[in-house]
Each structure stands twice: as C-alpha cells, then as structure tokens.
Amino acid sequence: MKALVKRRAEPGLWLENVPEPKVGINDVLIRVHKTGICGTDVHIYKWDSWAAKTIPVPMVIGHEFVGEIVEVGSNVSDFFPGQIVSGEGHVVCAIDKDVAAIFDPFGNAVHTALSFPVLGEDVLVTGAGPIGIMAAAVARHAGARFVVITDVNPFRLELARKMGVTVAVNPQEKSIQEVQKELGMQEGFDVGLEMSGNARAFRDMLANMAHGGKIAMLGIPAEEMAIDWNTVIFSMLTIKGIYGREMYETWYKMTVMLESGLDIKPVITHRLNYAEYERGFEVMMEGQSGRVTLDWETI
Ligand code: NAD
Ligand code: ZN
C-alpha cells in the first residue's frame, strides 16, 4: 500500500509502498479514504527540533483520517467490514466524510471551547488556526454572545469571518481593548480560549479578561513564557490546561453539534489528491490555508 513515510532524519516526506499492517485479534483494518494534514505533521515534515527528538525514523505518519473497515480480528464483535470510521475511533455514520477526516482537531476544539460555560458570555479566542476557528464556531453554536478571534495572518482572519465570528482582528493593527469598546463591552471577556501557543497572544488575552474570567489553554508554547501574574491574581483568573479530548463526552458533543447545524466544513480550504501532498504541506507552511485534506480513495 502507499503511505507518506518519514524515511530519513531530514526535512521532507516520501510517498512510498509499504507492507499492509497485519490484523491482530483485537484489531480492525481500515482502508483510508481521506486524511487531514495536522500541524504535527508539518513539524515532522520540516524536521524541527521537536520532531527530531520525538519521532523515530522510519515512520509512516498521519493520524487524522476517515476510512472503511475492510477486515476485523477474531475478538472484534462490535465493528464490521463496510463501516465508515474516523481517526477518533468513532463510528461516524451520517457525518460528512470531509468533516470526519478532521474529527481529531475538531475534538480538541470542542474540548477547549466547552471547558467553561459560554452561554451568554463574551469569548476571546487567540489564534485563528483551524482549531481556533473551529473553537470559535463551537462557542457561537453553544450560545456565546460575542466571539472575538485574533491572528496576525490575514488569510486566517478572513476564514474566521466566513465561519461567523463577531470580530476577527489582527492585534498588530487594532488592539483588543479597542474592539471591546466598539462592541460596547465594559468588563472584559468572560472566557478565553488560547489557541496560538504564542506568548504575545496570551499576554494580550490576560490583559483583556473580566474579573473572575476563565481561560482554557490548548496552544502549545515553543518555550517557557513569562506573564504578569499580578493580572492573574488581582483579576482572580482561572487558567486551565487542555490536552486532547475527553473520552467519550467530547465525541457525543461533537456529533450532536454537527447534527444540530454546526458547519465546520469551511475550515477545510484545500482538498487535494494524495499525490499532491507536497503542495498541501507548502500551503500550510505558508499559512495560506485552514485544514488541508488528502484523498486516498483513487489509489
Ligand atoms: P496553527 O499553528 O495552525 O494556529 C496557530 C495560529 O496562531 C496561527 O494561525 C498563527 O498565525 C496564530 N498566531 C501567531 N501569533 C499570534 C498572535 N500574536 N496573536 C494571535 N494569533 C497568533 O495551529 P492549530 O492546528 O490551529 O492548533 C492550535 C494550537 O493548539 C497549536 O499551538 C497546537 O500546537 C496546539 N494543539 C494542542 C493540542 C493539545 O492537546 N493541547 C492538540 C492539538 C493542537
Ligand atoms: Zn492532528
């Protein structure tokens, strides 16, 4: 079978023929239809210091996918050949295949966005990457009043606007304080979703929170970052780290929101054939994309 392989400890990925995995008694074999290119995959492609110390080579990469079960092990009684499943290990009947291909980052977005109650609250999202944009859409869907998102990348700000945020702002051009004023906000944001991993973005967030405000942090900073702890203390802020998703609670919420009209499809900006993977990584590295998916059905 064909796969994208990190063959050597250097930048790049290689489309290669690799052996089909053996099906153990507790396994299912999945024929992959579509995959999502994750930020993690971009790190592996670039071979930055994180990838170099974390990823053993050679390795077949990729973890965001939708596909069809083609074989099950002898112990498996609750899954059957022909079922469509996604990278969350979740049976995704009735869910659009493009959306199912990005269930993994969508799970991160839902987990973060619903960490604190947002009904009627004003929400600030820092970082309009695919996960930040999906989290903003989830906060809206869950009844937030204003959802303001920040990024320094015009392509992504525009994408966030298409997804229906209240305001998408570049903090280098206009301060978040100004946005608050324009919206008639007096006290700052009730809930913050940190989705950039960027220290400046996080500091901007801290300076714009209401007293008693709550921050969920998903973005992974590249290094330690200093903040003004006085703000945290005197504004009595709560900061909660978020990792992955909650089994199975996040999945149920994801499915129910999609069924009740949440549309995250616009976040997929490029649908490419697997053979065009180099272009997929390029647009991601240039920041000219939301989520990129690769189609493997035509092999
Ligand atoms: P991404 O890199 O595509 O998005 C981050 C965005 O932040 C980019 O669009 C970037 O332009 C923007 N940004 C940079 N500086 C900024 C600033 N000063 N102000 C506002 N925005 C700024 O990443 P993604 O795929 O959307 O993921 C979001 C974050 O979540 C990443 O840091 C990722 O590593 C992290 N992550 C964490 C988990 C977890 O379990 N904790 C899981 C998946 C991803
Ligand atoms: Zn991922």
CATH number of the domain that residue 160 is part of: 3.40.50.720
- Are 148 and 88 part of one and the same domain? no
Residue 247 falls inside a structural domain: no
Specify whether the CB–CB gap between 194 and 221 falls below 8 A. no
Task: Output the CA 261–ligand 2 centroid distance in Å.
Answer: 24
Q: Which ligand is nearest to the CA of 244?
A: 1
- Are 198 and 231 part of one and the same domain? yes
Give nearest CA residue, ligand 1 atom 1: 129
Residue 250 falls inside a structural domain: no
Task: Output the CA 63–ligand 2 centroid distance in Å.
Answer: 6
Residue with tokens 């989520």: 291
Nearest to 173 by CA among 199, 197, 196, 153: 153
Residues 265, 66: Cα–Cα separation, whole Å: 15
CATH of the domain at 284: 3.90.180.10
Task: Output the CA 196–ligand 1 centroid distance in Å.
Answer: 3
Residue 141 falls inside a structural domain: yes
- Are 35 and 135 part of one and the same domain? no
Query: pLDDT tens, position by position, for the chain (299 residues)?
Result: 999 999 999 999 999 999 999 999 999 999 999 999 999 899 999 999 999 999 999 999 999 999 999 999 999 999 999 999 998 766 666 888 899 999 999 999 999 999 999 999 999 999 999 999 999 999 999 999 999 999 999 999 999 999 999 999 999 999 999 999 999 999 999 999 999 999 999 999 999 999 999 999 999 998 899 999 999 999 999 999 999 988 889 989 999 999 999 999 999 999 999 999 999 999 999 999 999 999 999 88
pLDDT at 90: 63
Residue 109 in tokens = 């977005």
- Are 216 and 280 part of one and the same domain? no
Structural domain count of the chain: 2
For residue 130, which atom of ligand 1 is closest to its CA? 26
pLDDT at 89: 63
Residues 69, 228: Cα–Cα separation, whole Å: 51
- Are 127 and 218 part of one and the same domain? yes
SS3 sequence, 177-237?
A: HHHHHHHCCCCCEEEEEECCCCHHHHHHHHCCEEEEEEEEECCCCCCCCCCCHHHHHHCCC
pLDDT at 263: 95
pLDDT at 247: 84
Q: How buried is 29 (Cβ within 10 angstroms: 0-12 exposed, 13-18 middle, 19+ buried)?
A: middle
Residues 63, 263: Cα–Cα separation, whole Å: 22
Specify whether the CB–CB gap between 144 and 114 falls below 8 A. no
Residue 249 falls inside a structural domain: no
Residue 84 falls inside a structural domain: yes
Q: Ligand 1 within 6 A of 36 CB?
A: no
Q: Ligand 1 within 6 A of 156 CB?
A: yes
Residue 227 in tokens = 């903040």
Q: Ligand 1 within 6 A of 192 CB?
A: no
Q: Ligand 1 within 6 A of 220 CB?
A: yes
Catalytic residues: 40, 43
The residue range of the domain holding 159 is 107-241
